[in-house]
Amino acid sequence: MSLMARHLSDLTSPELTAWLDGGNTCVLLPVGSVEPHGPHLPLATDAIISEAACTRAADALAKDGKKVLVAATVPFGVTDYAAGFAGAIGVRATVLTAFLEDIVRRLLADGVSHVCIVNNHLEPAHDAAVRAAIASFEKGRASVACPLERRFGRTLSAEFKSGACHAGRYETSLVLAADPTQVRAEYKELAALDLSLSAGIAAGKATFAEIGMDRAYTGAPAEATATEGAELYEKLADMVVVTVKDALAG
């Protein structure tokens, strides 16, 4: 069986059995959300980013001799901050936690050695729900890779670190690098907004609207480039690789 990265859902049951033979297989589980990302990015933006990061990380881990599969993306998450905008299709935090926990449990029962949940939807309640999903598992069996972890976030762009990055230059660059056909051309005409989502959350604001994001974006989408997106994916892929290796090392 080749060590090249593959998507778990593309395998047949016998192929997966062969892949798992001998143990030491890691599965990357991309998680996103369905929510508005301005007038220019698709509702699935966070899922697109997580899946693209997983694919790149799987390639890197495979080159390092690891057996890696990428699971089907979990597209829905906790999307309370996007309330009031069409397309904010979220689930309760308890539902997301239970759903992810069951997926991880089934993968481990099938013979997977480690599951890494890769999350790029950064709403605090969503992040907490994702992390709660692995709380019951033995150390080293499951992990979460997310740029909210400071050691990873500090490697990303200035806009990301400012908090003014929802559907701005940061995320628009990432989608341009993953699939430019998903980015509406009007991103080039959108005005830059200096509204920090993280600062708004810290101040007790509960929705995009309360923060002042009346078009569900902040930051500078017009400055986005696919080149910057590719560079950011290198950082996000490295985040996943480091998370997996740390977990496997105990």
Q: What does pLDDT average to over the chain?
A: 96
Tokens of 90: 């979220």
Phi, psi angle pair for 69, to nearest 5°: -125, 150
Phi-psi region of 163 (alpha: psi -120 to 50; beta: other; left: phi over 0): left
**DSSP-derived 3-state class of residue 236:** helix
CATH number of 6-249: 3.40.50.10310
Residue 23: which pLDDT band, with cuts at 50, 70 and 90? confident
- Name the least confident of 17-21, 120-124, 155-159, 169-173: 17-21
Q: How far is CA 35 from the centre of its chain?
A: 14
Closest CA to 166 of 207, 100, 221: 221
Pairwise CA distance, residues 244 & 144, whole Å: 9
Which amino acid belongs to residue 33? S
Query: Domain map of the chain by residue range?
Result: 6-249
pLDDT value, residue 4: 54
Section 60-74 average pLDDT: 95
Closest CA to 76 of 130, 21, 114, 137: 130
- With a pLDDT cut of 70, the percent of the chain lying above it is 98
Exposure b/e, 46-69, CB count within 10 A at least 16 = b: bbbbbbbbbbbbbbbbbeeebbbb
Residue 5: which pLDDT band, with cuts at 50, 70 and 90? low
pLDDT value, residue 120: 98
